Chains A and B, each alone.
Chain A
């Protein structure tokens, strides 16, 4: 099997050196590369089992975008986007992508983890051709280069977060689709509860310059739960197993 080189993509994750050092096997999604799984030799524990108990996955090369401005929600709805009913909520669209309402005038749109949704690209192109700024007070807010995107999965995830985050993220307090814009390990972050299959999961987005710091902090925090990095293949299996 030919090993794919993550530096050959249009965009590389801030973590790609760590992934390479951890024997990552990459796969191509669109024009970029994401970790499929880690080749850990004799480790008997599968990444799927790991993802069900405590794991972290780097999704930073998947597509995402955003819109901001007084007219952003109305414009997005005119493009067929289904909006959450209030700020700090996120809902999955029919094609699988996730729309997060960060305030009354700000939207964040994340690709599905299978990268099958084309809505992120389509909305970005449509906003450019519509010349939104002048007409509708809607401003394109690209997120691909500003924020990293991590997924933390597993039934011990909320307990792990209690060590690094002041917001109560336990499943009975922090419902599916809830968003907390808060401090995680002293780093400003957007936390979205987005379960994968039946497994408790959170998406974490923080300033891209803090990616390596937050990755190391979360790995350190999940050490006592035997947490470790997994590739996107394990997350796909979680979704498929629902």
Chain B
């Protein structure tokens, strides 16, 4: 049985978790180009080696991050997202140019 350690709930059967994709730093939503947004949302590195990934403990709906070696499938550590997200992010609307 494979186990994964949730930073909130401890060691659990991997069946209790859902993979959430690669972690990438969130671009600045005001200045980022459409191309870079598409890159952030839709494209993945699919790297062989150490990666940081989102995982969710489904029984508690708790999202966290894991550092994993994709070659050996070894999880180096898991940690809470507030290690990275120290402040609330408010998505204010970007100013758009008039088309008239």
Contacts from A to B (Cβ < 8 Å): 70, 87-88, 102-103, 137, 166-167, 180-183, 188-190
Contact = CB atoms under 8 A, between A and B. Distances in A.
Given A87-B8, A88-B9, A181 B88 contact: no
Contacts, number: 31
A183 B15 contact: yes
Contacts of B59: 181-183, 188-189
Contacts of B16: 182-183
Contact of A88 (B8, B15, B58): B8
A236 to B, nearest CB: 30
B96 interface: no
Interface of B: 8-9, 12-13, 15-16, 57-60, 62, 88
B8 A103 contact: yes
Contacts of B12: 166-167, 182
| Shortest 7 CB-CB contacts between residues of A and residues of B | A181-B60, A188-B59, A181-B59, A182-B59, A166-B13, A183-B16, A181-B9
Contact of A180 (B9, B58, B88): B9
A87 B13 CA distance: 20
Contacts of B58: 188
A103 B13 CA distance: 20
A166 B13 CA distance: 8
Contacts of A102: 60
A167 B59 CA distance: 13
Contacts of B8: 87-88, 103, 181
A182 B58 CA distance: 8
Given A181-B60, A182-B59, 6 more contacts: A70-B88, A103-B8, A181-B9, A182-B9, A182-B12, A189-B59
A70 B89 CA distance: 13
A183 B8 CA distance: 15
A119 to B, nearest CB: 24
A37 to B, nearest CB: 32
Contacts of A88: 8-9
B15 to A, nearest CB: 7
A183 B9 contact: no
A70 B87 CA distance: 11
14 contacts: A70-B88, A87-B8, A88-B8, A88-B9, A103-B8, A103-B62, A167-B12, A181-B8, A181-B9, A182-B9, A182-B59, A183-B13, A188-B58, A189-B59
